[in-house]
Structure 1
Amino acid sequence: MSSMKKTLGLPSLIALGVAGVVGSSWIYTSSTFFADVGAGGMILGLLVGAALAACVALAYGELTSVIPRAGGEVVWSTAALGYRAGFATGWFHIGAYIASLSFYVTAFGTLLSKYLPVFESMPLYSVNGEAVTLPVLAVGIALALIVFALNWFGVGLGAQLQVALFVIMLLIGAALAVTAVFAGSPSNLWPAWSSGQAPLASTARMVVPGITYVVGFSLVAVLAEESSLSPRRVGRAVVLTVGIAALFYTTVLLATATVIPWEEVAQMDLGTIDAFTTAGFPLLGFGAFLIAVLGLVTSFIGLFVASSRVVLALARARMLPGSLAEVHAGSGVPRNALLFVLVITIVLGLLGPGAIIWFLDAGGVFLGIVWLLVVVAKYRLPRRFPNAQYTYRARPAFLPAIGAVGAVLVILFSLIPGTGLTLQWPVEHIILAGWALLGALIYTLTDRPQGADRDEALDELLGAEASAALRGQ
């Protein structure tokens, strides 16, 4: 039974979970959000969204404590709900992660072009009105290859780099906050909404985007098998990740809204970057830009690693080719799964941001589906396996169900017209339906194990220790 090397400690897990989804766009689109929902709406909406995500994270933490196996959601859904639900969870999870990775292939160079105009030169082709230039494509592919190389020899090296970059981001964020305290004024935040912005409605409009800001807790669960911590501590780390991410976002956004009047920031192009530059701190403005760059790199690292582990879990359950489940003895990583993720990321990334934004938007629906299935699995698992041993429990037990409401909101806001997050018709709806149909086709054509082979595959998916514990052996 293949297993991973346990090399990830608490700092690595937190860095992969928080910095793994911090991303970059929120730094320079904060001005757009301020103009749309007000500084109060953005910050409070994000906190409400984080609270809903934390409720889902409680389910993740509980399930991680009982089955700390690579692939997280795939493992729990398969064990609690069966193979169809397990495949759906993994398939939609891969769709969400790969969409983000493919977007980052060209987003990295596009972000650098804000300071380096050379990245806007030498256009190669255009998709959906967005030109793809040679420098942007070259630096994006180089980033993908570097991250791939880091993980080829083991998860430890990439995790150490992730921790280092995360520390730099925290230090820059702290510098922004301290500067805002001494050079800015709390009065710059008041009133937190401008005329025409209804506080309650504006805050509500930010809740769903706020949920997507703190999804990094899922990365901790996906990597649980490679953690040197006890299952209980990994479960706690899952929930802790949400709090740290929400605190980081809130700190930087409050600094942005108080260093100068937030309504001035709302009229700017680059949000936090322009706010500190205008306030007389160009070095800190560049520091905010660095948060965006480092956030994109750390997100790429985290999502790349996590994607390969989801692929690994599906292969262990024999819902994808068995070769993808192979773990290299020396490095302790699933090299075939890493290569699989690299190829898909680059191929889709070649389409450029104009096309990948379609996949990225559909990815929000994919995540909502995954979260919903995980919460259902949390309540179903004790009934199917009454001998399961939990070292961490969600308290009160109904909170994950509230988190499921947030997952449903993510789905509904994407499908209902006029919400501001509605998928573009017809392209993004076609992508959503197409991905679901492709998954259904693959599942139908896969030669899934039966009888004793099915039990053997489930044992491989769960791991020997968890499998024995669930069966009371």
Structure 2
Amino acid sequence: MESSLKRNIGFLGLVSLGAGGVIGSSWIYTNSQFFKSYGAGGEIFGLLVASALAVLVSLSFAELSTIFSRSGGEVVYGYAAYGKKGALFAGWALLGAYISTLAFYVTASSLLISTIFPEIATGPYYSFAGVRVHFTELAIGVGMMLLVFGMNYFGAQLTGNIQIVLFLLLISLGLALVVVGFSKGTVNNFMPAFSDGQDKFTSIFRFILPAMTFLTGWESVAIMAEEAKIPKKKIGLVVILSIVIAACYYIAVLLSSAWIYPWQKTASMQMGTIDAFKAAGFPILSVFAYAISFLGLATSAVTLFAAAPRVILSLARGRIIPQLFAKTHPRYGTPTNALWLVLALVLGLGWLGKGTLVYFLDMGGFLIALAWSFSTFCLLKIRKNYSELKPGFKNKHLIYPSLGGIVALGIAIFTLIPGTPVSLVWPYEYVILAVWCGLGLFSYLAQKNETSISEEFLGQQFKLPIQDHLSGSNKEAL
């Protein structure tokens, strides 16, 4: 079966997919709520700490992506370290996180537009979870996803080129806010960074958890490494660079909004940075901030819609799900069947509407925390078993990626335990998680008699060294 992907994503395209996938939408207007809850210092310094943790986690991906430059990223790492079970765990966690986030965007796109055109939230509707879903709103979200699907269908090169344009626009608008914010604003608007009586350490620590959800999407660099036309050693650097760029962007723009206008006043507004620049006398920059929210939504959606089908492709190559999803388009080199599956899953969840937005975000955050932590265990196992493999990027000290993995695992555990500040919503989100796990187990069991794994799953150059360390069915599978 043809499952060849084309190497046509350049350095700038890969950086744009990685960093653009991280920079989302809601952060630029929800800072009013976060300023109120945690203070400007709590959000900004908490985001800084979370960014440092994300960089630590990315060190595992950075090294492994230069050994296994195969589509699917952590799916391949999971197989090399723990066999099919490891590949399924990594793939199902990543796929669940990406699908839930994309389903969130189906509704989020219309929510943004309704702030300018409230009439779209009128007319015929249906209700789900006690919240109205207007057909006009749903049509806008579906239309956006179809557009993103079309971009990805016609090749990774087209996707990368479009992402470069969107990303450069995003950076340009952000720079305008930062330059004006710091040149026309004052530190007195930011200080004191915390409200009276607010514990500084607690505020910073509590914001680390939601900040982690802002910092997802860079995994796409490793997932799409097979299609990158750059030296392998640079792929690991792009993984880390993507987080650094996105984190600096987040912090600089949020800090500029607290510099240009007193953050305590922004905390009482509805649209955060958007309202802050308008109130400070810069209506054009307020429009820029609003445009950033749309561009961030678009860049994140494009990246996740590119990454999710590659995860499915990799699972199919590994005989973990049906092989029909390993098929690629003979001309465009895109995983067509996997793309159609992602579209069906996203639209199948997206129609649920605004009443399930929190569910999508919570599930996505929990699953991505699992995926991040698992990458560390994969690195440790592969380092131990396959010492002869020479990565293009190598961590001198494993303590740093291990620390990132432990923190990510801790977040995932606290999410599962009822009664913590980040617990899943009982019983709905626990039921959703159980269903998703059940689907993964069914897919695994349905393919349990498939023992022949194509060399392209790991790459032929890695077949012999890895085979030496495997035993039983996993060794036969190679």
TM-score of Structure 1 vs Structure 2, range by shorter chain: over 0.9
Shift of 1:180: 1.0
Call closer, same or farther: CA 1:345–1:119 in 2, change over 3 Å.
same
Q: Which residue of 1 aligns with 2:474?
A: none
**Paired AA for residue 260 in structure 2:** V
Residues 291, 91 of structure 1: CA spacing in aligned structure 2 closer, same or farther, 3 A cutoff? same
Which string of whole-angstrom CA distances, capped at 9 and with x for unpartnered residues, describes residues 246-300 of structure 1? 1000010101111011111111111000000100111111111111111111111
Which residue number corresponds to residue 458 of structure 2? 462
SS at structure 2 position matched to 1:332: coil
Distance 2:445 2:40 in 1: 49
Give the superposition deviation at 1:350: 1.0
TM-score by length of 1: 0.95
**Residue pairs, 1:331-370, within 5 angstroms:** 331-370=332-371
1:448 CA displacement: 4.0
- Aligned residue in 1 for 2:279: 278
Write the mapping of 1:90-109 to structure 2, written as runs, cut at 5 A. 90-109=91-110
Could you tell me how far 1:468 is from its partner in structure 2? 5.1
Q: Which amino acid aligns with 1:373?
A: F
Are positions 1:22 and 2:18 aligned together?
no
CA RMSD for the aligned pairs? Answer: 1.5
Counterpart position of 1:424: 425
**CA distance, structure 1, for counterparts of residue 332 and residue 447 of structure 2:** 29
The Cα offsets for residues 303-362 of structure 1, whole Å up to 9 and x where unpaired, read as 001000000000000111101001222111111111111111111111112124313312
Check the 8 A contact 1:153/1:331 in 2, yes or no: yes
- Offset of residue 123 of structure 1: 3.9
Aligned counterpart, 2:76 = 75
* Structure 1 stretch displaced more, 104-113 or 270-279: 104-113
The amino acid of 1:158's aligned partner reads: T
Q: Does structure 1 retain, via aligned residues, the 8 Å contact 2:22–2:218?
A: no
Q: Is the 8 A contact 2:71 2:226 kept in 1?
A: yes
Following superposition of structure 1 onto structure 2, how do residues 43-122 of structure 1 map, counting pairs within 5 Å? 43-122=44-123
Moved more, 309-318 or 178-187: 178-187
Residue 257 (structure 2) aligns with: 256
- Cα offsets for 1:99-119 (capped at 9, x unmatched): 011111121011111111122
Bigger mean CA offset, 308-317 vs 6-15 = 6-15
Q: Which structure 1 segments of 5+ residues have no match?
A: none
1:449: which partner in 2? 450
1:276 and 1:285 in contact (8 A); partners too: yes
What is the 5 A alignment of 1:298-337? 298-337=299-338
Residue 127 of structure 1, CA deviation: 1.2
Which has the larger displacement, 233-242 or 393-402? 393-402
Work out the CA distance in 2 between the residues paired with 1:377 and 1:83: 13
Equivalences, count: 467
- Map of 1:242 onto structure 2: 243
Cα separation, 1, equivalents of 2:288 and 2:152:
28
- Measure how far apart 1:471 and its partner are: 5.5
The answer to whether structure 1 residue 150 and structure 2 residue 146 are counterparts is: no
- Report Cα offsets for 1:92-140 as digits up to 9, x if no partner: 2111100011111121011111111122122421112322112211111
8 A contact 1:31–1:272 mirrored in 2: yes
3-state SS, counterpart of residue 170 of structure 2 = helix
Partner of 1:12: 13
The CA distance in 1 between the partners of 2:314 and 2:449, in whole Å, is: 14
Alpha-carbon distance in 2 for matches of 1:196, 1:166:
40
The percent identity for this pair of structures is: 40
Per mean C-alpha deviation after superposition, the further-off stretch among 308-317 and 154-163 is 154-163
SS in 2 for 1:66: coil
Map Cα deviations across residues 397-444 of structure 1 (whole Å, 9 max, x no partner): 211111012212321342344543221111111112221222223222
The 1:418–1:195 alpha-carbon spacing in structure 2 relative to 1, beyond 3 Å, is farther
Residue 170 of structure 1 is matched in structure 2 by: 171
Summarize the Cα distance change of 1:306–1:467 in structure 2 as closer, same or farther, 3 Å threshold: same
> Following TM superposition, by how much is the alpha carbon of 1:469 offset from its aligned partner in structure 2, in angstroms?
6.2
Q: Is the 8 A contact 2:22 2:243 kept in 1?
A: no
Partner Cα distance (1:280, 1:123) in 2: 39
Q: Distance in 1 between matches of 2:330 and 2:246?
A: 34
Distance in 1, matches of 2:274 and 2:425, equals 30
Whether the aligned pair in 1 keeps the contact of 2:80 and 2:466 (CA below 8 Å) is no
- TM-score norm. by structure 2 comes to 0.94
| 4+ aligned runs moved over 4 Å, structure 1 | 468-472
In 1, distance between residues paired with 2:13 and 2:119? 35
- Distance between the aligned counterparts of 1:359 and 1:389, measured in 2? 39
User: Could you tell me how far apart the structure 2 residues matched to 1:412 and 1:11 are?
Assistant: 36
